[in-house]
Amino acid sequence: MKCLVVLAFVLAVAFAETYSDKHDGLDVEALVTNPEALHGLSHCFLDAGTCDDIAAAFKKVLPEATQTACAKCTPAQKHMLKRHQHHYEVFGCSLVVLVVTLAETYSDKNDSLDVEALVTNQEALHSLTQCFLDTGACDEISAAAKKVLPEATQTACAKCTPAQKHMLKRYLEEVKKTSPADFEALKQKYDPQGQYIEGLRAALADA
């Protein structure tokens, strides 16, 4: 848990789509090289000491940020996290895994796919949905999409390219409109507890 202290330097209060950029100008280098500052923050996050207003704001968003691979972080926050990776490694924590995740995106091999032609073709749309629900065969493209769909759902599409976010948004819109039963089946398979849908919806809102 102590490794979470460093992530706090690049997070801020949560808003609907991204965290506040109020502290994006924070001097992270100065903080991570100041043992006294690190000690105070770690005590705040471990409930072993008091929190000032800034530390309390950081602490509030830590659980969501770590669970969603920083899906709602601003570009500046993600950049700071990657820029100071060596400081995280000094503390021997597994946050480096999150850094790697932030640096990756899914393959853009199929980003040029004509999504409008696909989602407005009921036969193609149904075949794709059957693949995702394990009730039909998958071709190469649908199999690739299906492989990442669980993670994309759980992380609010954090590793999706802009094109992939748009395609997923349009797919879900058309399935919900033309086949509500299939839409419910997809939710049951990929988000049975309903814990990811709101984050995913927010991430895709402007895609």
Q: What is the pLDDT of residue 90?
A: 42
Q: List, in order, residues 6 or more apart from 133 with CB less than 8 Å away.
A: 182, 185, 186, 189
Task: Please tell us whether the domain made up of 115-204 is placed in CATH 1.10.2080.10.
Answer: yes
Residues 198/58/93/70 CA torsion (nearest 10 deg): 30
Lowest mean pLDDT segment, chosen from 72-76, 130-134, 176-180 = 72-76
Q: What is the pLDDT of residue 42?
A: 67
Per cent of the chain over pLDDT 70 is 72
Q: What would the pLDDT profile of 150-160 be if each residue is shown by its tens digit?
A: 989 988 888 89
* H, E, C per residue of 150-176: HHHHHCCCCCCCHHHHHHHHHHHHHHH
Q: What is the pLDDT of residue 86?
A: 45
Q: Report the C-alpha gap between 22 and 155 in whole angstroms.
A: 24
Q: What is the pLDDT of residue 66?
A: 65
Q: What would the pLDDT profile of 16-33 be if each residue is shown by its tens digit?
A: 377 888 877 777 777 667
Q: Report the C-alpha gap between 176 and 68 in whole angstroms.
A: 24
Q: What is the pLDDT of residue 67?
A: 66
Q: Which CATH number fits domain 4-103: 3.30.300.30, 3.20.20.70, 3.40.640.10, 1.10.2080.10?
A: 1.10.2080.10
Mean pLDDT of 182-193: 95
Lowest mean pLDDT segment, chosen from 43-47, 54-58, 117-121, 175-179 = 43-47
Q: What is the pLDDT of residue 155?
A: 85
Specify the DSSP element, H or E, that contains 135.
none
Helix (H, G, I), strand (E, B) or coil at 14: strand
- Residue 19 · residue 11 · CB < 8 Å: yes
Closest CA to 119 of 168, 58, 189: 168
Q: What is the pLDDT of residue 25?
A: 79
Mean pLDDT of 180-195: 95
Show me where the domains of the chain are located: 4-103, 115-204
Q: What is the pLDDT of residue 39?
A: 67
Q: Report the C-alpha gap between 138 and 130 in whole angstroms.
A: 8
Q: Quick check: do 4-103 and 115-204 share a fold?
A: yes
Q: What is the pLDDT of residue 182?
A: 97
Q: What would the pLDDT profile of 83-135 be if each residue is shown by its tens digit?
A: 544 444 444 343 434 443 444 688 899 999 999 999 999 999 999 999 999 99
Mean pLDDT of 193-197: 90
